[in-house]
Amino acid sequence: MPTLTDPQIATLLRPYLEDAPATLCAHLSTYLDLLLKWNARTNLTAIRDPEEIVRRHFGESLFAARHLGDCPTLLDFGSGAGFPGLPIQLLHPQIAVTLAESQNKKATFLREVVRTLSLPTQIWPNRVESMPESTQFHTITLRAVDNMAEAIESAAPRATHQLLLLTSVPPALPPTFAPQTPIPMPNSTNTILLTANRT
């Protein structure tokens, strides 16, 4: 028995993504159940309430996905339990998404979700800094990373077009990136979506 029904998930997502497709809600339901099961024995997210997970993790990630524009390749830097990278992949299956997560337990969980949902998503189970220098991505997303300034410094050389940040405070950006007007996150008093385009 799923934790939340597909229609319940669609209703919770409405502020972030109107009319979420039925297939997306079905995939998110499976993802949610996996996350709750794994979270009971390994700390993937501090949020335990299923509805709050749908809003904060799935909803905010899908809100970011809506603002991507044309994006052939994407790296989710410090993906954790897969946010925003996996919901982006589910909404935009044509994007070649790579999830970078150096913590072994979290990387193992990401592999399980990708396998269960038959996604083409790649997992990089190491630090982004250890990627070959030639490996680059159109867009790099950063959300709830430990040290945002350090992460941006590592991410910027690998982003050919844009950085997409889910954050509460607009961070300092390299001079090669121009920030766009921040977009307030629905149902949040402090989270913003900030896109910075390579100049």
- Judge whether 7 lies within some domain: no
pLDDT of residue 2: 66
Instruction: Check whether 190 has a pLDDT greater than 60.
Output: yes
Tally of domains in the chain = 1
Question: What mean pLDDT value characterizes the chain?
Answer: 95
Q: What is the mean pLDDT of residues 57-64?
A: 97
- Judge whether 194 lies within some domain: yes
* Domain of 123, in residue numbers: 63-198
pLDDT of residue 145: 85
- Judge whether 150 lies within some domain: yes
Angle among Cα 58, 43, 167 to the nearest 5 degrees reads: 45
pLDDT of residue 154: 93
- Judge whether 141 lies within some domain: yes
Instruction: Check whether 1 has a pLDDT greater than 70.
Output: no
Instruction: Check whether 36 has a pLDDT greater than 60.
Output: yes
- Judge whether 164 lies within some domain: yes
CA–CA separation, 40 and 158 (whole Å):
35
- Judge whether 20 lies within some domain: no
Q: What is the mean pLDDT of residues 129-154?
A: 92
- Judge whether 162 lies within some domain: yes
Q: What is the mean pLDDT of residues 72-99?
A: 97
Q: What is the CATH number of the domain that holds 95?
A: 3.40.50.150
Q: Are residues 151 and 174 in contact, defined by beta-carbon separation less than 8 angstroms? A: no
- Judge whether 177 lies within some domain: yes
Q: What is the mean pLDDT of residues 164-181?
A: 94
Name the band, by pLDDT with cuts 50, 70 and 90, for residue 184: very high
Name the band, by pLDDT with cuts 50, 70 and 90, for residue 169: confident
| Count of alpha carbons within 13 angstroms of residue 88, beta-carbon side | 32
CA–CA separation, 190 and 147 (whole Å):
18
pLDDT of residue 170: 87
Q: What is the mean pLDDT of residues 174-189?
A: 95
